[in-house]
């Protein structure tokens, strides 16, 4: 069996997470977003497969990070929290590799050690805001809470979807699980407790089918592979090599590593197509989602079982500090910037991509449902002006108007600037603005940075605020 190094255990996990993410973007892969977008999307696919097949090739791991960052930059502004978290860690990979190379110290061992701190900090940021944003009246309301939105499809087969106790358990267990996860990230002795609760939680939420959560859960699994004790990740590597990789290579060569994945996808596709024939009329994206839910159920289940088993072997962890990399300030740069950026909803900046997914949080229009603020402490005014679309030449905005949702004024103005042939009629501060176009806008265009970094959710004026995303 090949000798263990930390990156060899992590790289395939990161490759699998990238694949779960990119298959959730079928329009990008098929060219609807443009040739450059499609080129970068398929580059992510290629480097992901390379990372899985050749986990000891550092260039494949770094190339995957570079392709993912470039694709994210092309996508900007990005609403997806999952893609933002992934890109933050990919930036850590590129930064660590660059600094170590400049110092003449770039080895796989040093790169692995340099990434362990950022991985832990990014997970801690995710769990901190996963709790903080949910401290609001509507997340705690069992009639509209996003936790209940995830609970209902899981409880429905048992007839418990309307059970009030179950709904409250879903709400409060979210705080408990994420709280345990934060503490255990920094309390190595009991790390396995936090890892177990977190992995079970992240394994279950994609199966709820509430949203495309496979990319989110798989990237969390990969980050946990980095943060768990070296002995535990070495045990996972040993199990995988001995019982999966080496038998497959002996039968089919290196490409045989992909055989179980290909077989699983084929079986999942067959099952979903047979069900679709029995229940016609399902949209193609729903079928794609179903295929990868089944795939995740197996892949995620195997990964979760192996990781929990390995972690429990070292509970409580009694390892020393040998091999720990010295403190390096640059390891903190990206995680700290990311932590600060997630305060954006309260500062009047973006309301998307701030770890506020499925939190019921609202901060627009100078009001908030957060229990720690009577009014959001805006430092910027982007969220202050909220408008009600009355009519539009755009079908999507017309649908927004018909559904009673509102928009941040900045979003409407940017829409018109990007689509000078479109018009929008809306109400702003009680005044009807009829058929506004790009030519009728009086304010200067947003800067390049504003256009790339600011993205806002549509605003639900109803209270309590129902769960959207």
pLDDT tens, position by position, 146-171: 999 889 988 998 999 999 999 999 99
Please give the pLDDT value at position 322: 44
Can you tell me whether residue 382 is helix, strand or coil? coil
| Of the candidates 155, 65, 154, 153, the residue with the CA atom closest to the CA atom of residue 111 | 65
Q: Which regions in the chain score pLDDT beneath 50? A: 321-323
> Which pLDDT score is estimated for 316?
87
Element holding 391 (H helix, E strand): strand 386-392
Give the model's pLDDT for residue 257.
85
Model pLDDT for residues 269-282, shown as the tens digit of each residue: 999 999 999 888 88
Alpha carbons 193 and 203: distance in angstroms, whole number: 16
pLDDT score recorded for residue 329: 85
Torsion angle, alpha carbons of 304, 310, 316, 320, to 10: -120
Q: Compute CA distances 237 → 4, 7, 107, 234, whole Å.
A: 7, 10, 19, 5
Per-residue pLDDT at 323? 44
Contact of 366 with 375, CB cutoff 8 Å: yes
pLDDT at site 320: 58
Instruction: Give CA–CA dist 312/307, Å, rounded.
Output: 9
Strand ranges across the sheet with 424-428: 407-408, 386-392, 424-428, 431-436
How confident is the model at residue 326, as a pLDDT?
Answer: 54
For 287, the token pair is 């079928």
pTM above 0.85, yes or no: yes
- Give the tokens for residue 450: 């504003």
């Amino acid at each position: 069996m090949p000798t263990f190094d930390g990156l060899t255990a992590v790289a395939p996990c990161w490759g699998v997470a990238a694949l779960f993410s990119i298959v959730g973007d079928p329009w990008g892969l098929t060219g609807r977003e443009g040739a450059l977008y499609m080129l970068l999307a398929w580059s992510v696919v290629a480097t992901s497969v390379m990372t899985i097949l050749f986990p000891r090739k550092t260039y494949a791991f770094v190339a995957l990070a570079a392709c993912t960052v470039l694709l994210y930059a092309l996508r900007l502004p990005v609403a997806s929290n999952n893609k933002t978290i992934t890109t933050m860690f990919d930036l850590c990979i590129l930064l660590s590799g660059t600094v170590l190379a400049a110092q003449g110290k770039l080895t796989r061992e040093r790169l692995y050690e340099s990434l362990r701190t950022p991985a832990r900090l990014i997970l801690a940021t995710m769990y901190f805001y996963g709790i903080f944003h949910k401290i609001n009246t509507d997340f705690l309301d069992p009639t509209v809470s996003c936790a209940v939105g995830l609970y209902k499809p899981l409880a429905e087969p048992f007839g418990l979807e309307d059970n009030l106790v179950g709904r409250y358990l879903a709400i409060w267990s979210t705080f408990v699980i994420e709280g345990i996860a934060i503490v255990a990230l920094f309390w190595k002795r009991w790390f396995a407790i936090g890892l177990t609760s977190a992995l079970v939680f992240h394994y279950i939420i994609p199966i709820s089918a509430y949203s495309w959560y496979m990319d989110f859960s798989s990237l969390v699994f990969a980050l946990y592979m980095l943060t768990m004790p070296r002995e535990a990740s070495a045990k996972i590597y040993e199990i995988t090599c001995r019982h999966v990789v080496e038998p497959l290579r002996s039968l089919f060569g290196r490409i045989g590593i992909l055989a179980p994945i290909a077989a699983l996808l084929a079986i999942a596709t067959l099952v979903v197509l047979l069900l679709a024939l029995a229940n016609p009329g399902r949209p193609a994206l729903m079928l794609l989602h179903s295929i990868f839910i089944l795939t995740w159920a197996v892949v995620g289940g195997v990964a979760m079982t192996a990781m929990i088993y390995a972690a429990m072997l070292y509970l409580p962890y009694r390892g020393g500090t040998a091999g720990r990399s010295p403190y390096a300030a640059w390891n903190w740069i990206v995680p700290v910037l990311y932590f600060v950026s997630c305060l954006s909803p309260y500062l009047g900046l973006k309301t998307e991509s701030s770890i506020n997914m499925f939190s019921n949080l609202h901060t627009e229009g100078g009001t908030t449902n957060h229990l720690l603020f009577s009014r959001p402490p805006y430092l910027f005014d982007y969220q202050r002006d909220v408008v009600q679309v009355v009519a539009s030449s755009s079908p999507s905005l017309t649908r927004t108007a018909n559904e009673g949702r509102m928009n941040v004024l900045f979003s409407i103005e940017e829409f018109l600037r990007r689509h000078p042939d479109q018009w929008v009629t809306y109400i702003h501060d009680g005044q009807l603005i009829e058929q506004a176009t790009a030519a009728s806008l009086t304010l200067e265009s947003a800067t390049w940075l504003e256009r790339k970094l600011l993205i806002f959710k549509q605003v639900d004026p109803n209270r309590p605020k129902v769960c959207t995303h």
